[in-house]
Amino acid sequence: MIILKPLMHRGALCIAIFWENNKAVEAIVRSFEFRRFSITHHCWYIPFSESCLNALVTRLKYVDDVIFNDNVDQALPVEILQPCRPSAPEIPNEYGETLTRLGYSKATRQNYVAQFHAFLDYIRPKTCQNFTEEDIKRYLLYLINERKVSVSTQNQAINAIKFHLERVEKQERRVYYVDRPFRPYTLPTVLSEDEIQRLLNVTSNLKHKSMLLMLYSGGLRISELLKLKIDDLDVGRGVIYLRGAKGNKDRVTLLSRCAYTYLQKYIEIYKPATWLFGGPSGAQYSCRSVNNVIKRSSALAGITKRVSAHTLRHSFATHLLEHGTDLRYIQSLLGHESSRTTERYTHVTRKGFEQIMSPLDKLAVNLTLDTNNKEI
């Protein structure tokens, strides 16, 4: 069974495709240039247009003839739920204008608009002028119980709704107060220095290795790496200038001599124009591509931990701490607003462990194996 459904993604209408395990259908979906997979909805989707819809329906209806070459007994059944464009919930112009006026980043603006759009879509036929606190609570329960979204997504949804009520409608907080979900305390994944070295050594591509060196050299966020320009590198002072980083704040961080020595070869061969790490078309390199590079290199290096670009940032901070760098300097290099955020690295560092002995190691425990005793 194949089901096509309308799906709103970041404020744009898409066609979601659900099907049972079938390589033929997957091949058809993958043939569309702008297809994407949604982890949240567990489906593939493509941007909505009449031409895309017609092409998709035509190919799926004849999937047995086109793909299977008469190797199956019957045609694949197709159920199409009305995929015409639903009337989109109206978001007031003031919402986007206020986000822009207050200096929110592009990514945050897109996130807020998408989250608020999803909320308005849920409470229909109510609009942004007449929803209540009960509607908000009902929507959050829907996100938790049915959508099973993460705590982070729940908080994003609350922030988007709060922004409308507090910043656009100028309402009092008591009118719409909702308890925040408890965010579980998790420790960051950190690679050892040996694992970092193996990761870098197995990355042979000049551009890919340059990106990994820069991420670890200054503890960069992936968005900060992709916004770098050649002028942001101050070789004489050994620093990287990060313009308009998270929170729209500028800061400086470390530029390793090792990283810059390798980066010179990259600049000489690739001759980057606008962005230090641009894509084939000259646009910014994509976050997904960087993380895919890291995952491939991790596998080659035999690293079993779940590694991403942010893992290199966590490792940078932890290794600085283990080498005696003061937390205040690490906080500044990472661009953390609160020292509490930086303090979590004290929970993953091994600094000082070499002076501590487990009490078990002080006991005279008989560790001789008795292979004859197989009692269960």
Residues labelled as active-site residues = 221, 246, 310, 313, 336, 345
- The phi-psi region of residue 177 (left if phi > 0; otherwise alpha if psi is between -120 and 50; otherwise beta) is beta
CB 95 within 8 Å of CB 78: no
In sequence order, the β-bridge partners of residue 8 are: 13
What is d(CA 191, CA 239) in angstroms, rounded to the nearest whole number?
Answer: 23
The contacts of residue 197 (CB under 8 Å, 6+ apart) are: none
The contacts of residue 180 (CB under 8 Å, 6+ apart) are: 155, 158
| Cross-sheet strand order for the sheet of 2-9 | 36-38, 43-47, 12-19, 2-9, 78-80
Nearest to 334, CA basis, from 354, 350, 313: 313
CA angle 325, 319, 354 (to 5 degrees): 90
What is d(CA 273, CA 286) in angstroms, rounded to the nearest whole number?
Answer: 16
In eight-state DSSP terms, residue 178 is -
CB 167 within 8 Å of CB 112: no
Backbone angles phi, psi at 272, to 5 degrees: -60, 140
**Per-residue tokens: 158:** 């609350």
Q: Long-range CB contacts (< 8 A, 24+ apart) of 172-175? A: 175/133
**Per-residue tokens: 79:** 């159920």
What is d(CA 272, CA 280) in angstroms, rounded to the nearest whole number?
Answer: 11
What is d(CA 259, CA 211) in angstroms, rounded to the nearest whole number?
Answer: 9
| Residue 243 exposed, middle or buried by CB count within 10 Å (0-12, 13-18, 19+) | middle
| DSSP assignment string, 54-81 | HHHHHHHHTHHHHTSTT-SSSPPPEEE-
